[in-house]
């Protein structure tokens, strides 16, 4: 039962992670503020296009963290508690996003609309890159020490702690992590641009976004292919469930894909959907291209996160001592906790149904300057 629950909850956590990367299209769209808009009205139109969706990203991030805390508390304490400068930077970038949407359109705000637009740009660029770096650590690990026996020590009952003074900032300069961050940014920007093309009723703005899409989408596709090559040729770490011994395995993540098969099918379907959506978005028939590409990104990310821990893989490797690495077996909650949470997770389809209902209500018509200039309109 415990074995099943551990894998079930990694599936759920991975699903939330994939959903978070998809919803980062809001952040990606914010980076268009200074490149595609030509006047104040177009900036306001762009901000309000994403203003109805930004809470979804923030809420999913919090839910993702909460699910990890409840299901894999040792990872939560090690990563969030040890690499805290990385997570504080991410939190700060999301806080300034919330503040910007709240105060940008307020009459007489102290800093002026342009300052808050700059905050939105920072959140869109660096928020996505740093979250991608955090995702990359599932494959590259970190400089931490883990010792469960320390719980018996009266003076310092700390199971895990970071082994250097950078507390997570060192993960940013790891080439694979940084590449993952850049690819997540490019994915978010591609989806954000496609969302504008789908949702905004402004021929001039849409035309400029299509020009940006050609550049960003091309960079995203090339970057993702290179990232896959790096991942599939990387050495991962395998754990023997019976003994807990962790050993390096060359091409571990490629082996996971080809052994499990179904993540490889998900990845292939995701890549096909991404390419189909991008190509159709550049044509006149592009109404549903955003959803095709978004579904493709979701499936691709979900498949990669599954392979980070399934097939007896250490999903958070200690660079200090690989034997201290975290796996599904040594970092999860108890059977009772995971079982109770599993019953609660049965409500997820109802929550998803509500989100779909609200989403359709907010996107059933395109947004235009006339809409945001109505006297009764809510304007960000």
Token pair for 217 = 């989408």
Going by C-alpha positions, the residue among 53, 43, 61, 31 that lies closest to residue 189 is 31
Tokens 């290179």 belong to 226
Task: Spell out the residues 6+ positions from residue 240 whose beta carbon is closer than 8 angstroms to its own.
Answer: 246, 247, 312
pTM of the predicted model, to two decimals?
0.92
Task: Spell out the residues 6+ positions from residue 156 whose beta carbon is closer than 8 angstroms to its own.
Answer: 150
Beta strands in 131-276 (DSSP E): 144-146, 160-162, 235-239, 246-250
Each of the 380 residues of the chain gets a pLDDT tens digit; together they read 888 999 999 999 999 999 999 999 999 989 998 888 888 888 888 888 888 888 888 888 888 888 898 899 888 888 888 888 999 999 999 999 888 888 887 777 777 778 888 899 999 999 999 999 999 999 998 888 877 666 555 565 667 778 888 888 899 999 999 999 999 999 999 999 999 988 888 888 888 888 899 999 999 999 999 999 999 999 999 998 888 899 999 999 999 999 999 999 999 999 999 999 998 888 766 678 899 999 999 999 999 999 999 999 999 998 888 888 889 988 888 888 888 888 888 887 887 787 788 777 777 777 777 667 776 666 77
What is the spatial distance between Cα 58 and Cα 91, in angstroms, rounded to a whole number? 10
């Amino acid at each position: 039962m415990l074995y099943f629950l551990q894998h079930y909850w990694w599936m759920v956590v991975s699903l939330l992670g994939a959903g978070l990367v998809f919803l980062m299209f809001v952040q990606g769209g914010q980076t268009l503020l200074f490149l595609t808009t030509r006047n104040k009205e177009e900036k306001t139109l762009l901000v309000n296009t994403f203003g109805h969706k930004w809470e979804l990203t923030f809420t999913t991030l919090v839910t993702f963290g909460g699910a990890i805390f409840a299901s894999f508390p040792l990872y939560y304490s090690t990563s969030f508690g040890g690499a805290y400068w990385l997570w504080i930077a991410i939190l700060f970038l999301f806080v300034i996003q919330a503040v910007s949407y709240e105060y940008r359109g307020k009459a007489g705000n102290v800093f002026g609309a342009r300052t808050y637009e700059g905050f939105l740009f920072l959140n869109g660029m660096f928020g996505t890159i740093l979250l991608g770096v955090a995702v990359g650590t599932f494959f590259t690990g970190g400089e931490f020490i883990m010792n469960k026996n320390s719980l018996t020590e009266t003076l310092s009952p700390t199971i895990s702690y970071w082994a250097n003074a950078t507390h997570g900032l060192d993960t940013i300069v790891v080439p694979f992590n940084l590449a993952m961050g850049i690819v997540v940014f490019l994915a978010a920007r591609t989806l954000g641009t496609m969302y504008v093309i789908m949702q905004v009723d402004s021929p001039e703005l849409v035309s400029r976004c299509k020009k940006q899409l050609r550049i960003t989408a091309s960079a995203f596709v090339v970057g993702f292919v290179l990232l896959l090559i790096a991942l599939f040729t990387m050495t991962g770490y395998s754990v023997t469930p019976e003994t807990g011994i962790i050993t390096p395995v060359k091409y571990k993540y490629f082996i996971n894909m080809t052994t499990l098969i179904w993540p490889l099918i998900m990845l292939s379907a995701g890549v096909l959907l991404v390419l189909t959506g991008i190509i159709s978005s550049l044509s006149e028939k592009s109404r549903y291209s955003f959803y095709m590409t978004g579904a493709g990104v979701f499936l691709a990310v979900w498949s990669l996160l599954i392979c980070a821990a399934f097939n007896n893989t250490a999903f958070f490797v200690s660079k200090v001592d690989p034997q201290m690495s975290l796996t599904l077996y040594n970092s999860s909650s108890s059977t009772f906790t995971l079982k109770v949470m599993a019953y609660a997770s049965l409500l997820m389809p109802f929550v998803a149904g509500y989100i779909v209902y609200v989403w359709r209500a907010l996107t059933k018509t395109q947004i235009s300057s006339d809409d945001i200039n109505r006297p009764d309109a809510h304007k960000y």
